[in-house]
């Protein structure tokens, strides 16, 4: 049952990144590339009917984490308390930026909420990339100093950064040069993803420009992904041991690079949705490849005193996990019905939705 709920949790987080990821990316495009009111309206129309439903996947994933791996939930929310509060505020400002902008038709008012929406989207993309970096790098479980554990084996607390800014320090910070690298990859990947969604859902005059931007950004994304694979050897001496042990797992890196190389053809696609398909493949492949590389770890330990947090030593009682399956089936049916209706009602181009207008 531990494996089942682990797969459910990872699927929810992956769906969240793909769906809310295009919202973040659209916000970054809005911040840097939308120069006219018409362009800004096209972007908000593209995500308006979807963004709040997309965020529910994060709440659902948090619920599954609390239910299936409660000790990990407690340790993570304690150890990552500061960045999680920052993410909460960024989610709030992104939402109210979308909702409050159209309440008053005043240039200063609109500019303030445009910036709130765009900057919050940019920082969220950066922070979620940094969060992934923290998970794969690991944390100092038990707050070990000179081989002595100061706390329980699953406890940790991380400041925003440490004085050395190094991912190999004994006492780590949230931000170091490795996690920043993954944060930048996250920003570029979600900018591309959001731009593809805008192209898919609108006939905006901005679309031709976005195709050129995607093409250029993809060179940077490819370079950083390759660089991260080399640097990964510094963090994990045997980064591909799971892939060597279980060869079928190579399908996930193949999906990643299929999506990445497919994006280089974005300017020649006949169908507007093809770019979004390839950026979704890249995100799906990237997340699943990362998860496969550290399995069965949920949060690695950077010291040798306390063990890694895994799906087996963090899972709830087997009876509770089994009972939860029944409720999960009901939830899946409700979610499937909801999303089927939502995407059927809002299928096609969204240019004339008029989201946020009052």
Q: What is the pLDDT at residue 336? A: 87
pLDDT digits (tens, 9 = 90+) for 313-356: 888 888 888 888 888 888 889 888 988 888 888 888 877 776 66
pTM listed for this prediction: 0.92
Q: What is the CA radius of gyration of the chain?
A: 21
Number of alpha helices (DSSP H) and beta strands (DSSP E) in the chain: 12, 4
How many Å apart are CA 298 and CA 276, to the nearest integer?
29
Per the DSSP assignment, residues forming a β-bridge with 310 are: 297
Alpha-carbon torsion 166, 171, 174, 179, what sign?
positive
Q: What is the pLDDT at residue 144? A: 85
For residues 281-308, average pLDDT: 90
Nearest to 265 by CA among 255, 279, 284: 279
DSSP designation for 295? T
For residues 137-152, average pLDDT: 84
Residue spans per domain, the chain: 2-345
Answer for the pair 289, 300: CB distance below 8 angstroms, yes or no.
no
| pLDDT confidence band for 99 (50 / 70 / 90) | confident
Answer for the pair 114, 41: CB distance below 8 angstroms, yes or no.
no
Average pLDDT value over all residues in the chain = 89
């Amino acid at each position: 049952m531990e494996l089942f709920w682990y797969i459910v949790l990872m699927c929810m987080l992956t769906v969240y990144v793909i769906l809310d990821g295009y919202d973040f990316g659209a916000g970054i495009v809005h911040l840097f590339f939308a120069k006219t009111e018409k362009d800004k309206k096209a972007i908000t129309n593209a995500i308006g009917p979807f963004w709040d439903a997309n965020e529910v996947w994060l709440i659902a994933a948090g619920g599954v984490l609390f239910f299936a791996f409660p000790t990990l939930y407690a340790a993570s929310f304690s150890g990552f308390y500061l960045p999680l509060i920052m993410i909460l505020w960024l989610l709030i400002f992104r939402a109210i930026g979308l909702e409050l902008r159209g309440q008053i038709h005043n240039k200063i008012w609109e500019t303030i909420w445009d910036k709130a929406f765009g900057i919050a989207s940019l920082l969220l993309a950066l922070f979620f990339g940094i969060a992934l970096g923290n998970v794969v790098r690991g944390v100092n479980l038990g707050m070990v100093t000179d081989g002595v554990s100061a706390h329980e084996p699953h406890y940790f607390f991380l400041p925003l950064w440490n004085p050395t800014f190094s991912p190999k320090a004994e006492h780590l910070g949230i931000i170091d040069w490795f996690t920043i690298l993954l944060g930048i990859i996250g920003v570029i990947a979600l900018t591309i993803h959001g731009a593809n969604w805008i192209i898919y859902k609108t006939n905006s005059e901005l679309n031709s420009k976005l195709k050129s931007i995607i093409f250029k950004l993809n060179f940077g994304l490819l370079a950083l992904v390759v660089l991260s694979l080399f640097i990964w050897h510094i963090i994990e001496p045997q980064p591909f041991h799971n892939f060597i042990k279980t060869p079928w797992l190579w399908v996930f890196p193949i999906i990643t690079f299929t999506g990445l190389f497919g994006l280089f053809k974005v300017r020649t696609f006949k169908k507007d949705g093809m770019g979004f398909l390839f950026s979704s493949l890249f995100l799906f492949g990237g997340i699943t490849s990362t998860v496969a590389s550290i399995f069965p770890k949920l949060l690695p330990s950077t010291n040798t005193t306390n063990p890694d947090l895994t799906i087996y030593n963090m899972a709830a009682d087997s009876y509770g996990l089994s009972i939860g399956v029944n409720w999960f089936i009901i939830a899946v049916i409700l979610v499937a019905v909801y999303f089927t209706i939502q995407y059927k009602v809002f299928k096609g181009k969204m240019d004339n939705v008029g989201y946020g207008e009052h």
